[in-house]
Structures are given as structure tokens and as C-alpha cells.
Amino acid sequence: MAKTVIVSCGTAIATSTVAAKAIEEACKEAVISVITKQCKGQEIPELLKQGADLIVTTSTLRFDPGIPVIKGLAFLTGIGTDAVVKEIIAVSYTH
């Protein structure tokens, strides 16, 4: 069954697109079926109602979503992206 990953940034355009593509490629290589859903931070609660396994965000969540949250700032800065991708894969295997 595919894992659903919510990918959020400020505008749901540039950074979330880069992050979503990187997540999709890394998961494909790790043989993990994944569906990414891009959104703005304030849209996360609505997407959670549809079901999700993980959130990757460049902003701070002000609530507990009840699923793992990974800071995706590396996708914005380009520093530490490999480590974040490895963390996403690890969480995807365990949840």
C-alpha cells in the first residue's frame, strides 16, 4: 500500500515541488510506493482528513497532527537534503 506524504511550504509551489520530486525519486529507489500531496502550511489540517502517513514541511506546525513530521528546510537551503531523504525513507519503513 502506498504511503501518503504531505509536503508543505509557504506557497505550495517551488519548495514543495522540489521536495515532492526528491521524495518520490528516493522512495522509488528504496522500493517504497508513495503519493505526495503538496500544500501550504495552513492547508495541512484539511489534507490530514483525507489520510496521510507523514508530513514534510519547511514551516513549524502549531498543532500535533498525530503522524510523524520531518523538517524539510533542507529542500529550501540545499544543505542536508540527503539526511532528510534518509529520514523520510526510515519513517516510511516503520509506519
Q: Determine phi and psi for 90, rounding to 5 degrees.
A: -60, -45
Which residue intervals of the chain are DSSP H helices? 14-29, 44-49, 73-77, 81-94
User: Could you list the active site residues?
Assistant: 9
